[in-house]
Structure 1
Amino acid sequence: MIFSKAGFGGAVADFEAAVVAQDAKRSGKAFVRLQETFGQAKEAELLAGGPRLAAVLEQVPPGPRAVVAVLVGACVERGAEAERCAPGVLAGLRTAVEGAAAFAKAWAATGGGAFPEPDAGEPDAETVERAGFEAAAGWWTLRQWEMAAVALLNHPAVRAGLGGADEEASHQAVRAEARGGPDGHPLRAEALAGRHALLRLLAAVEHASGQQFRSLGYALQVLDDEPLVALHRPSGTGYALRFFGIGDNFQLHTLLADALIGGGHVRGYAPSPHEVAVCRETPGQVDTVGSFELVAPDGARLWNEGNPADIPLVDGVRLLVLDEPAYRRSWPAGRFFPGMRGDLILERALEAEETERWFARVSPARELTG
């Protein structure tokens, strides 16, 4: 495919060649052209350009590397193949999160204080002196890597490939969370291991800096093909479900109400088709009303602002209790990640004996406030 040198495709070709040749002057000029021409890029240029830029990311210096990663993410949002772009972007994300975590330690060890606010340039001399360039660059560029990574993590195939088979500590954490043993799901634990390593590092950065990287954190916790048992306490009934690509519990809440109330299994407010559609793949938001109180097996409230990964695993299955709402709540139904398709499938109503066995794992209802 031949691109005009004046367009985005030509800028990609120039940048790619200059980076491979380690020609700093030429790559700098092409880097500027990438940003200048992206807005007018044609579809074919974006489809080809995203993977080509992703393939050379590792060879780009840390500062511009993050900006190029954002461009790759933007190409994916406009149709470039996410799986082809993922290795370069996710490797860069890991490097940035590890660097930012190292920065947090170094900053504390050299006197602490408020974290420097990243700007469009590179870290200043004092910041680099206190933490080292690689660590400072990790902190400086983490917001950009968040943007790039979330664009790719909208795609289930990218999420499925995020595991890290050599991260034994992460495996142990996941196995413990899954309660281990023959009832666990080792393949699912394997796939989640790499995410847990990133999440632990990200949590350390957030704690030290006082800043939140909520989009990245939630994207790393999105579950696919995840079994869920929901126990509706008012009716004493239970249901086996499976969910995919759900970003937060607001979205889960609406889809649960559609499956159980809209499906005629329990009583309550059934969301409209429009309310349900925006929680699956239709763009936009629309007002809805809460139908349940989401409760963990131990009786603790699970907030709508949280995400489905908060639902505890019991014998390898997410176990959720649905109580009557403590008070009336409303919110705009929709998706936390507008570019991510979500779904929840009701597989079957549980038999009475099976439901009773699950209820035996649940604490009695307790008064919830707030």
Structure 2
Amino acid sequence: MSTEQMPSHRQQPTLLEAVAELEAVIATGDDERFGPALGLVGGLFGSADPDQRVAAGPRLAALLPDAPPFPRSHLAMVVGACVEHGADPVACAGPVLAGLRGALTGAELLVRRWEETGGGPLPDPEEDDPAEAHERIADPALLDEWHAHLAVIGWWTLHLWQQAAWAVYAHAPVRTEARASGVTEALVELIGRYRGERHDLRGLAHLALMLDDEPLLVLDRPTGTGYLLRMSGLSDTFQLHTLLADVLIGGGHLPGPRQDPEVVALARTAFLDGRRVIATGAFNLVAPDGSWLWNEGTPSDVPVLDGVRTLVLEPLPYERSWSAGRFIQEVPGDLRLERVLDPAEAARRLALTVPGQSPAEAFR
């Protein structure tokens, strides 16, 4: 058989060629071709060269604002996968976090309209028909069709945006930039307003609020001493509490029992292996105004005083214990001592604070 008679087979495209095809589809506004084009990108992702996955991330992220509303979240998931495989998280984060904001806003609207139209169990995105939910909440007197559409999209796709946002927020430069721009503040406010039981967004909020390379001034009221520390990757105040005890008591700066080395390791980098390890409290954590800072919060709750987050340590009013570990296991935690304040500076700083509330006041 001559070469002219041999059947020809089209060579499989590369990932970046598929990305280029998706870019062309979005440029022409052909929503009918979007699904197949995105499917090709997803199908080629697993076998693509690492450098192609890295290059694809920012290009795909740039397509998110113009992608069709419902399948846009699936594109966001591919962007998140690119970030997890080395794509620039900062270059990808903006459109992903904007999409999360839209989904949160839509989901909040659906929950509100659901309550206004009779309440009952909220729709199950895996089992229920989004068209039926749209019909129920799209009362023309209260909500126009387009906003009803966005509400349904937000509710049905929020879990996908949550996963994509987690992929970018797992990187410190994204957290720093999103905090500085006000994006994190807006997202955390929306998460705080979310009242549906379908999505657990607490972990994402803790991740978004995580501080990196953040100075922390700690004043110990019983001894009148002060310490400047620096914290990174702390996802909850339980973790901060443990590491404060390790650095200050374990380092010989303050009196008290040393923390269990295993508890400290779990607060820094070690992973839980299924056992329940118990951590114990060493101090009462107090804001400069005397209000208590609860372990269930995040280090971002520590107020800024004279340009630096300032925390006061006072004696425990009662014994405290909790399960050791990091709320967000994927991110290692770090707290290190930079310097001990001289007595005059410590006294001056302490003079700007007030003693902590009584237990009765704190529990009001």
TM-score by length of 2: 0.78
Once the two structures are superposed, what CA deviation does each residue of 1:124-165 show, in whole Å capped at 9, x if it has no partner?
A: 3333540510122122212211111121112222122225xx
The residue aligned with 2:183 is: 194
For residues 291 and 203 of structure 1, the distance between their equivalents in structure 2, rounded to whole angstroms, comes to: 28
2:280 pairs with 284, 290, 306, which one?
Answer: 290
The residue aligned with 1:242 is: 230
The residue aligned with 2:206 is: 218
Tell me which structure has the larger Cα radius of gyration: 2
For residues 32 and 120 of structure 1, the distance between their equivalents in structure 2, rounded to whole angstroms, comes to: 23
The residue aligned with 1:175 is: none
Q: Does 1:257 align with 2:273?
A: no
Q: Does 1:340 align with 2:356?
A: no
Structure 2: which 5+ residue stretches go unaligned? 1-10, 139-147
1:119 maps to amino acid: E
For residues 123 and 330 of structure 1, the distance between their equivalents in structure 2, rounded to whole angstroms, comes to: 42
Once the two structures are superposed, what CA deviation does each residue of 1:151-200 show, in whole Å capped at 9, x if it has no partner?
A: 1112222122225xxxxxxxxxxxxxxxxxxxxxxxxxxx2633222222
Once the two structures are superposed, what CA deviation does each residue of 1:21-55 show, in whole Å capped at 9, x if it has no partner?
A: 33334321232334444444432232122222111
8 A Cα contact 2:266 2:324, kept in partner:
no
8 A Cα contact 1:82 1:155, kept in partner:
yes
For residues 210 and 343 of structure 1, the distance between their equivalents in structure 2, rounded to whole angstroms, comes to: 33
> Structure 1 residues 272 and 197 mapped into 2: Cα distance closer, same or farther (>3 Å)?
same
1:331 pairs with 310, 323, 326, which one?
Answer: 323
1:160 maps to amino acid: T
Shift of 1:276: 4.9
1:137 maps to amino acid: I
8 A Cα contact 1:114 1:209, kept in partner:
no
8 A Cα contact 1:226 1:242, kept in partner:
yes
> Structure 1 residues 218 and 128 mapped into 2: Cα distance closer, same or farther (>3 Å)?
farther
Shift of 1:69: 0.9
For residues 291 and 19 of structure 1, the distance between their equivalents in structure 2, rounded to whole angstroms, comes to: 55
The residue aligned with 2:122 is: 115
Once the two structures are superposed, what CA deviation does each residue of 1:230-278 show, in whole Å capped at 9, x if it has no partner?
A: 2234433222223233211232223323321232212344457776565
> Structure 1 residues 33 and 277 mapped into 2: Cα distance closer, same or farther (>3 Å)?
farther
Once the two structures are superposed, what CA deviation does each residue of 1:296-347 show, in whole Å capped at 9, x if it has no partner?
A: 235554333321122234444333233455326253333x334435432322
> Structure 1 residues 63 and 119 mapped into 2: Cα distance closer, same or farther (>3 Å)?
farther
For residues 365 and 268 of structure 1, the distance between their equivalents in structure 2, rounded to whole angstroms, comes to: 22
1:26 counterpart SS class: helix
Larger mean CA deviation between 101-110 and 80-89 belongs to: 101-110
The residue aligned with 1:180 is: none
Once the two structures are superposed, what CA deviation does each residue of 1:98-122 show, in whole Å capped at 9, x if it has no partner?
A: 2223334433443444332222887
1:102 counterpart SS class: helix
8 A Cα contact 2:219 2:226, kept in partner:
yes
The residue aligned with 1:186 is: none
1:161 maps to amino acid: E
1:344 counterpart SS class: strand
For residues 239 and 356 of structure 2, the distance between their equivalents in structure 1, rounded to whole angstroms, comes to: 26
Q: Map of 1:138-157 to 2, 5 A cutoff?
A: 138-157=154-173
Q: Does 1:205 align with 2:221?
A: no
2:134 pairs with 120, 124, 127, which one?
Answer: 127
8 A Cα contact 1:279 1:333, kept in partner:
yes
> Structure 1 residues 24 and 5 mapped into 2: Cα distance closer, same or farther (>3 Å)?
farther
Q: Does 1:303 align with 2:291?
A: no
> Structure 1 residues 247 and 328 mapped into 2: Cα distance closer, same or farther (>3 Å)?
closer
The residue aligned with 2:37 is: 30
2:54 maps to amino acid: L
The residue aligned with 1:363 is: 355
> Structure 1 residues 328 and 134 mapped into 2: Cα distance closer, same or farther (>3 Å)?
closer
2:194 counterpart SS class: helix
Q: How many residue pairs are counted as aligned between the two chains?
A: 337
The residue aligned with 2:142 is: none
Shift of 1:65: 1.1
For residues 96 and 277 of structure 1, the distance between their equivalents in structure 2, rounded to whole angstroms, comes to: 37
For residues 43 and 275 of structure 1, the distance between their equivalents in structure 2, rounded to whole angstroms, comes to: 37
1:155 maps to amino acid: H
8 A Cα contact 2:291 2:356, kept in partner:
no
Q: CA RMSD in A?
A: 3.2
Larger mean CA deviation between 221-230 and 115-124 belongs to: 115-124
The residue aligned with 1:266 is: 254
The residue aligned with 2:91 is: 84
For residues 123 and 293 of structure 1, the distance between their equivalents in structure 2, rounded to whole angstroms, comes to: 51
